[in-house]
């Protein structure tokens, strides 16, 4: 169980792949599959996440009310330090949260009378590595833990995002505040290698316990893993015969 | 070979009578030999599944028992993990439908609808009215089928096998309808980004109306068979208790939450596809147990029939796919002499008349359309609760990330809270009342 994504596999496959580079995708397909060549002209900011701009107030809708209530609940200084950016896009609001302040903010979001985000709908991860936007660096971390919170009282939804690097993938666990986050965080750890500190039992949940690497990281290949069964090893489909 | 019976048998006391010697066979002499309860506990760890017929698929339960009381229940999942989320990242946006439909295989149309609504939200488009109405129609048909399987497997796991055969029989009638409409019984890939794969075939509306005439009597049969039955009631009542606080803390939604008394149904509280214009109730119960969940599902079957009826009434002729040719699937399906396939008119057009049409067809089918960068979270009410799609685009022709908040995955976490402290037989009732679908849990 290594924290370096598919580094082991990466090294193993890198040697076999032509040119020594790491091969992505099944059957050797790489890039967008764009057949025109025009696709390469578009440089986009992925998911509004690694992008660096922030939405200006007013955000519109209930977003301002939520933000004001949150500032009141945690204090202006904590909010300013904990939420460096806010993005409103397609009718949804995303708070980009610094991991040191995550638990303070989440606790307030759940307990404050004006916020009441009782339900943690989902915790998942996104790997923005090599996403076509600004290059992921320690200042623009590639791994994002994404929280979707629902207020059943006010019928509101917000999203929190915490970004960490692959080298230091630690995020405090919200499982104490939202018990439902238990399995979500285990899955996110399993798939992305984000380590949720303080989780009661952070083990793999979907992959076998002894699995190497974190399958949903972008550097991890699709279908490039040999299958071992009863002492026989079946090579991955893309290496069984030549498709190229 | 010969056994000597004249030796004293420690398990059979004996005494002489006029008829001969009488042996009284009793149980072991454990208590006499070792004294009662020598180690202070009688802990037994039982592994159930992942291939147990009563665990609702490849679910594994590790149960700590003391006598018949469950002291600890641990749930082990992952046996059906197929990497669907990862797979979608390597296919076009349209192809994503065919992957997500295979997750919660009892509610494929909900997966498709949730995914397509998320993609449409990213694109900033809306499917035509007729497509939206048909989506509601097929989803509610699917909800009935899904609930029938929930009830059928519930019956089977509780030992009411007639409930199982009846449930699967009624479900088959729904699947026949879905097969007629979409071409497939399951894994339809019918709902596509921008609309539907094809319009309703001729005669489908009439067949659905016939189904609506037959089904209420079948539901009544179900009530006759199970609801009034004392054994059924005693197996379900006060079993798998989880109140609203417990549900919300554990993220549990759907019939389980409604059976605890909270009328939380996304079709009502956050309407999509025009659900706010349909007249239907959100059934609830206040028992917070397996019995309440059973009643809520039964009532939801009736509500779905009401919605289907209204959807049929408001079907107006019109397109079922957006008009934007940059998104709409270029090939139209039609029924030929050799079955369903690409319409001959379309093939003639691209092969014989227009080079541009051929290029367009080729580009859209192989490369797909681009979706502007951004991310959305789109929740819909599946038969099992909140089915949320977190879809991220980096502006290319493939999803950057598709995460599915599957209700079965979340609800299954409640197993321990529902079964610890209860009897081992009630674990089966509790898990059956959660109605997890492992295809959705493991994805």
Q: What angle do the packed helices B290-313 and B424-434 form, to 10 degrees?
A: 20
Is the complex ipTM more than 0.90? no
Query: Chain B: residue nearest A223 by CA?
Result: B87
CB B394 within 8 A of CB A136: no
A46, A128 Cβ separation under 8 angstroms: yes
- Residue B114 is classified by DSSP as H
Mean pLDDT, residues A226-241 taken together? 74
pLDDT score, position A11? 39
**Which residues from chain A sit within 8 angstroms of residue B270, using beta carbons?**
155
User: Quick one: pLDDT at residue A30?
Assistant: 53
Residue B27 scores a pLDDT above 70: no
Query: Mean pLDDT over residues B378-386, rounded?
Result: 93
Beta carbons of B167 and B149 less than 8 angstroms apart: yes
**B122 contact residues in A (CB cutoff 8 A):** 90
Is B159 at the interface with chain A, CB within 8 A?
no
**Nearest CB to A148: which of B372, B390, B398?**
B390
| Model confidence, pTM | 0.83
Distance, CA of B19 to CA of B3 (rounded, Å): 22
Minimal CA separation from B242 to chain A, in Å: 14
> Does B332 contact A at CB distance below 8 Å?
no
Q: Which of A44, A122, A207 is nearest residue B405 as measured by Cβ atoms? A: A122
B258: phi then psi, degrees, rounded to nearest 5: -70, -30
Q: What is the mean pLDDT of chain A?
A: 77
pLDDT for position B33: 59
Chain B contact set for A205 (CB, 8 A)? 77-78
Measured between CB atoms, does B62 come within 8 Å of chain A? no
Mutation site, A90, A130, A208, A215, interface B, largest B CB count within 10 A:
A90
> Which residue of A49, A62, A119 is the best one to mutate when testing the B interface, meaning the one whose CB has the most B CBs within 10 A?
A119
Identify the residue with better confidence: A229 or B131: B131
pLDDT at residue A42, rounded to an integer: 43
A-B interface: how many C-beta pairs under 8 angstroms? 155
- pLDDT-derived band at B136, boundaries 50, 70, 90: very high
Q: Check whether B24 has a pLDDT greater than 80.
A: no
Residue numbers in A near B90 (CB within 8 A): 25-26, 29, 222
| Position B260 pLDDT exceeds 70 | yes
Interchain CB distance below 8 Å, A146 and B405: no
Q: Does B379 contact chain A (CB < 8 Å)?
A: yes
**What CA–CA distance (Å, rounded) separates B225 from B220?**
9
> Can you read off the two tokens belonging to residue A121?
């709908």
Contact B377 A152 (CB under 8 A): no
- Could you tell me if A114 and A73 are in contact, meaning their C-beta atoms sit under 8 angstroms apart? yes
Best of A39, A44, A135 to substitute, by most chain B Cβ atoms within 10 angstroms, is: A44
- Which of A55, A154, A156, A180 has the highest number of chain B CBs within 10 A, making it the mutation to test binding with B? A180
Please state, in angstroms and rounded to a whole number, the distance separating the CA atoms of residues B382 and B256: 12
Q: CB distance A90–B376 less than 8 Å?
A: yes
By C-alpha distance, the chain A residue nearest B408 is: A183
Select the more confidently predicted residue: B250 or B57. B250
Residue of B86, B251, B373 with shortest CB distance to A120: B251
Question: Higher confidence at residue A37 or residue A52?
Answer: A52
Report DSSP state, residue B423. Answer: B
Alpha-carbon distance of B69 to A110, in angstroms, equals 35
More confident residue, B106 or A47: B106
Looking at beta carbons, which residues of chain B come within 8 Å of A93?
A: none
Q: Does B326 touch chain A (CB under 8 A)?
A: no
CA-to-CA separations, A169 to A142, A172, A186, in angstroms, rounded? 10, 10, 14
Lowest mean pLDDT segment, chosen from A142-151, A154-163, B282-291, B326-335: B326-335
Residue A244 is predicted with a pLDDT of 42
- Paired sense of beta strands B191-192 and B195-196, if any: antiparallel
Is there a contact between A127 and B366 if contact means CB atoms under 8 Å apart? Answer: no
Q: Do A90 and B83 touch (CB under 8 A)?
A: no
* Residue B365 Cα, gap to closest chain A Cα (Å): 11
Tell me whether B346 touches chain A (CB under 8 Å).
no
Residue found by looking up tokens 């139209």 in the block: B332
Q: How close B1 gets to chain A, by Cα (Å)?
A: 43
Chain A residue with the nearest C-alpha to that of B82: A206
Largest separation between any pair of C-alpha atoms in chain A = 63
C-alpha span between B241 and B264 (Å, rounded): 18
**3-state SS class at B3:** coil
Q: Cis before residue B50, ω within 30 degrees of 0? A: yes
Mutating which of A35, A47, A200, A213 best tests the B interface, going by the most B Cβ atoms within 10 A?
A: A47
Residues of B in contact with A152 (CB under 8 A): 248, 262, 264
CA distance B373 to chain A (A): 5
pLDDT band at residue A240 under the 50/70/90 scheme: low
Who among A94, A128, A180 is closest to B251 (CB)?
A180
**What is the percent of chain A where pLDDT is above 90?**
32
**B102, B440 Cβ separation under 8 angstroms:** no
B76-79 own/partner pairs: CB under 8 Å, 24+ apart: B76/B50, B77/A205, B77/A206, B77/B409, B77/B412, B77/B438, B77/B441, B77/B442, B78/A204, B78/A205, B78/A206, B78/A207, B78/A208, B78/B442, B79/B50, B79/B438, B79/B442
Three-state secondary structure call for residue B373 = coil
Given A44, A127, A206, which is nearest B81 (Cβ)? Answer: A206
Angle at CA of residue B185, ends B113 and B149, nearest 5°? 85
In chain A, residues with a C-beta closer than 8 Å to the C-beta of B392 are 46-47, 49, 126
Tell me what percent of the residues of chain A surpass a pLDDT of 70. Answer: 70
Question: Average pLDDT for residues B358-379, to the nearest whole number?
Answer: 85
The CA distance from B163 to A138, in Å, is 59
Closest-CA distance, B69 to chain A, in angstroms, reads 24
Question: How many Å apart are CA B76 and CA A183, to the nearest integer?
Answer: 11
Residue B115 Ramachandran class (φ > 0 left, ψ -120 to 50 alpha, else beta): alpha
**Min CA distance, B316 vs chain A (Å)?**
30
Q: How far apart are CA B60 and CA B55, in angstroms?
A: 7
pLDDT higher than threshold 70 for residue B411: yes
Cβ within 8 Å, pair A121-B377: yes
From A152, A178, A215, residue closest to B83, measured CB to CB:
A215
CA distances from A49 to A94, B15, B126, B324 (A): 9, 87, 25, 29
- Quote the pLDDT of residue A13: 39
Would you call A87 exposed, middle or buried from its count of C-beta atoms within 10 A (0-12, 13-18, 19+)? buried
Helix (H, G, I), strand (E, B) or coil at B65: strand
- Whether residue B78 and residue A204 make contact (CB cut-off 8 A), yes or no, is yes
CA distance B348 to chain A (A): 24
pLDDT at A23: 43
Instruction: Determine contact: B91 vs chain A, CB below 8 A.
Output: no
**B86 contacts on A by Cβ (under 8 Å):** 215-216, 220, 222
Task: Look up residue B161 and give its two tokens.
Answer: 């096998």
The 10s digit of each residue's pLDDT in A89-148 is 888 898 989 999 999 999 999 999 889 999 999 999 998 877 666 666 666 788 889 999
CB contact under 8 A, B390 and A131: no
Mean pLDDT of B423-436: 89
Q: Using the beta-carbon criterion (under 8 Å), do B367 and A36 form an inter-chain contact? A: yes
Quote the percentage of chain B above a pLDDT of 70: 91
How far is Cα B415 from Cα B396, in angstroms, rounded to an integer? 40
Tokens of A222: 């699709």
Helix H, strand E, coil C: the string for chain A is CCCCCCHHHHHHHHHHCHHHCCCCCHHHCCCCCCCCCHHHHCCCCHHHCCCCCCCCCCCCCCHHHHHHHHHHHHCHHHHHHHCCEEEEECCEEEEEECHHHHHHHHHHHHHCCCCCCCEEEEEEEEECCCCCCCCCCCCCCCEEEEEEEEECCCCEEEEEEEEECCCCCEEECCCCCCCCHHHHHHHHHHHHCCEEECCCCCCCCCCCCCCCCCCCCCCCCCCCCCEEECCEEECCHHHHCCCC
Q: Who's near B272: CB < 8 A, 6+ residues apart?
A: B117, B266, B378, B380
């Amino acid at each position: 169980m290594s924290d370096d994504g598919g580094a082991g596999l990466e090294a193993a496959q890198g040697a076999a792949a032509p040119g020594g580079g790491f091969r992505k995708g099944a059957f050797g397909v790489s890039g967008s599959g764009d057949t025109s060549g025009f696709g390469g002209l578009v440089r986009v900011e992925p998911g509004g996440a690694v992008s660096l701009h922030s939405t200006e107030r007013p955000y519109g809708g209930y977003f301002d009310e939520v933000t004001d209530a949150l500032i009141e609940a945690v204090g202006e200084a904590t909010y300013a330090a904990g939420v460096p950016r806010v993005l409103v896009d397609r009718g949804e609001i995303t708070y980009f949260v610094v991991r040191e302040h995550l638990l303070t903010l989440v606790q307030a979001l759940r307990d404050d009378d004006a916020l009441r985000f009782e339900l943690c709908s989902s915790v998942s991860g996104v790997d923005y590595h090599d996403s076509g936007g600004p290059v992921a660096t320690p200042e623009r971390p590639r791994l994002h833990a994404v929280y979707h919170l629902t207020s059943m009282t006010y019928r509101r939804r917000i999203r929190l995002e915490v970004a960490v690097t692959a080298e230091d993938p630690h995020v405090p666990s919200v499982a104490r505040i939202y018990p439902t986050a238990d399995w979500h965080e285990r899955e996110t750890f399993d798939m992305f290698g984000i380590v949720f500190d303080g989780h009661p039992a952070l083990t793999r949940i979907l992959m076998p316990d002894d699995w190497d690497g974190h399958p949903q990281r972008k550097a991890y290949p699709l279908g490039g893993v040999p299958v071992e069964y009863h002492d026989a090893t079946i090579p991955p489909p893309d290496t069984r015969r030549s498709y190229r | 070979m010969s056994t000597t019976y004249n030796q004293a048998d420690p398990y059979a006391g004996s005494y002489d009578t006029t008829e001969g010697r009488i042996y009284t066979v009793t149980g072991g002499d454990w208590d006499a030999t070792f004294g009662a309860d020598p180690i202070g506990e009688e802990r037994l760890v039982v592994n159930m599944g992942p291939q147990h017929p009563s665990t609702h698929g490849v679910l594994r339960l590790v149960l700590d028992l003391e006598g018949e009381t469950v002291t600890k229940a641990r749930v082990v999942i992952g046996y059906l993990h197929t990497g669907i989320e990862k797979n979608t990242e390597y296919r076009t946006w349209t192809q994503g439908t065919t992957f997500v439909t295979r997750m919660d295989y009892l509610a494929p149309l909900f997966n498709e609808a949730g995914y397509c609504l998320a993609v449409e939200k990213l694109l900033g488009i809306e499917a035509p009215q007729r497509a939206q109405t048909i989506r509601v129609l097929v989803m509610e048909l699917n909800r009935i089928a899904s609930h029938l399987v929930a009830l059928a497997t519930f019956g089977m796991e509780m030992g009411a096998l007639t409930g199982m055969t009846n449930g699967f029989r009624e479900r088959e009638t729904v699947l026949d309808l879905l097969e007629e409409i979409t071409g497939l019984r399951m894994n339809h890939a019918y709902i596509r980004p921008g609309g539907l794969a094809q319009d309703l075939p001729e005669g489908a509306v009439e067949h659905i109306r016939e189904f609506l005439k037959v089904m209420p009597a079948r539901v009544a049969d179900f009530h006759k068979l199970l609801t009034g039955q004392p054994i059924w009631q005693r197996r379900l009542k006060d079993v798998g208790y989880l109140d609203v606080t417990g549900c919300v803390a554990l993220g549990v939604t759907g019939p389980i939450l409604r059976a605890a008394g909270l009328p939380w149904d996304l079709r009502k509280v956050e309407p999509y596809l025009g659900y706010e214009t349909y007249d239907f109730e959100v059934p609830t119960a206040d028992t917070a147990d397996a019995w309440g969940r059973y009643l809520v599902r039964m009532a939801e079957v009736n509500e779905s029939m009401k919605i289907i009826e209204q959807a049929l009434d408001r079907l107006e002729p019109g397109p079922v796919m957006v008009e934007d040719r940059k998104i709409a699937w270029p090939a139209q399906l039609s029924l030929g002499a050799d079955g369903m396939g690409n319409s001959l008119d379309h093939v003639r057009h691209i092969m014989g008349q227009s080079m541009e049409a051929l290029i367009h067809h080729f580009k859209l089918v192989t490369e797909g359309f681009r979706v502007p960068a951004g991310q959305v979270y789109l929740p819909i009410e599946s038969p099992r609760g909140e089915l949320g799609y977190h879809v991220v685009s980096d502006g290319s022709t493939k999803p950057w990330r598709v995460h599915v908040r599957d209700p079965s995955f979340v609800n299954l976490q409640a197993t321990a809270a529902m079964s610890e402290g209860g009897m081992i037989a009630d674990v089966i009732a509790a898990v059956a009342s959660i109605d997890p679908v492992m295809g959705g849990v493991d994805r």
